[in-house]
Amino acid sequence: MLKNFLPNEHKKSVYDISINKLKERGVKGIITDLDNTLVEWDRPNATPELVTWFEEVRKHGIVVMIVSNNNEQRVKSFADPLGLPFIFEARKPLTLAFKRAVREMNLKKEEVVVIGDQLLTDVLGGNRSGLHTILVVPVAQTDGVITKFNRTIERRILSWMKRKGMLYWEE
C-alpha cells in the first residue's frame, strides 16, 4: 500500500528534470500539477523562467497537460496564455483525470510522466494510474487549508519511508 506513495524520482524543481533524459526514455508527454509545482498557489501567471521551460519542452516534441484539483477559472487563466491543455477539478488522487489526460494526449502510459508536489494527490494518483511519477519540492512554503492537512500526513509518510531505507534523496 505505501509503495503507491513512493515517487519514481524526486527533484528540487521542474527545472532540475532533464528534458534530454526524458526524451531518451521515450517520454512524449508530461502531466503536471499547477499550484506549488509550477508556480506558487497564489501566483496567477507563469514566470518568465517557466515560460522558457515550456518552450524547451515543446522544442523536444514533448506535450504538456496541466491536471489540477483547482477550479476552472484558476487553471484556465494560467493555461490559456501558454496554449496548454488542462483538466480542472481533477479529483486527484482518483485515476480518472490521469487516464483522460493520457488519452487526450493520444499517448501510451509508458510515454507519460507525472510531475507534482504532493504525495497524496499527484504521486498517489499517478502511481495508481501506472505512470512514472516525479515529486518536486513545493515552490511555496504556504498552502491552502486542505493542502496544509495533506502536508502533515505526507511528512509522516516520508519520514517512515526514509527510516525504512526507501528514500535515497536529501530533503
Distance CA 93, CA 95 (A): 6
- Domain membership of residue 128 (yes or no) is yes
Confidence of residue 65 (pLDDT cuts 50, 70, 90): very high
- Residue 171 lies inside a defined structural domain of this protein: no
52 part of a folded domain: yes
Question: Rounded distance, CA 120 to CA 44, Å?
Answer: 24
Q: In whole angstroms, what is the distance from residue 71 CA to residue 84 CA?
A: 16
Among 55, 65, 63, which Cα is nearest to 28's?
63
Q: How confident is the model at residue 129 (pLDDT cuts 50, 70, 90)?
A: very high
Residue 58's pLDDT is what? 96
Q: Is residue 146 pLDDT above 80, yes or no? A: no
CA distance 22 to 57: 10
Counting every residue written for the chain, the total comes to: 171
* Higher pLDDT among residues 162 and 39, named by residue: 39
Give the chain's domain count: 1
The pLDDT value recorded for residue 147 is 65
- Does 97 fall in a domain? yes
Average pLDDT in the 85-93 region? Answer: 97
Mean predicted lDDT score pLDDT of the chain = 90
Render pLDDT for 71-80 as a digit per residue (tens, 0 to 9).
999 999 999 9
Mean pLDDT of 17-44: 95
Q: Give me the pLDDT at residue 171, please.
A: 44
CB-based contact 163:155 (threshold 8 Å): no
146 occurs within a structural domain: yes
In the prediction, which pLDDT does 161 show?
73
Q: What is the pLDDT of residue 28?
A: 98
> Would residue 168 count as lying in a domain?
no
Helices (H), the chain: 19-24, 48-59, 72-79, 96-104, 124-128, 145-163
Q: Is residue 170 a part of any domain in this protein? A: no
CATH of the domain at 90: 3.40.50.1000
User: 120 pLDDT exceeds 50?
Assistant: yes
Residue 96 located in a structural domain:
yes
Provide the residue range defining the domain that includes 31: 2-163
pTM of the model: 0.88
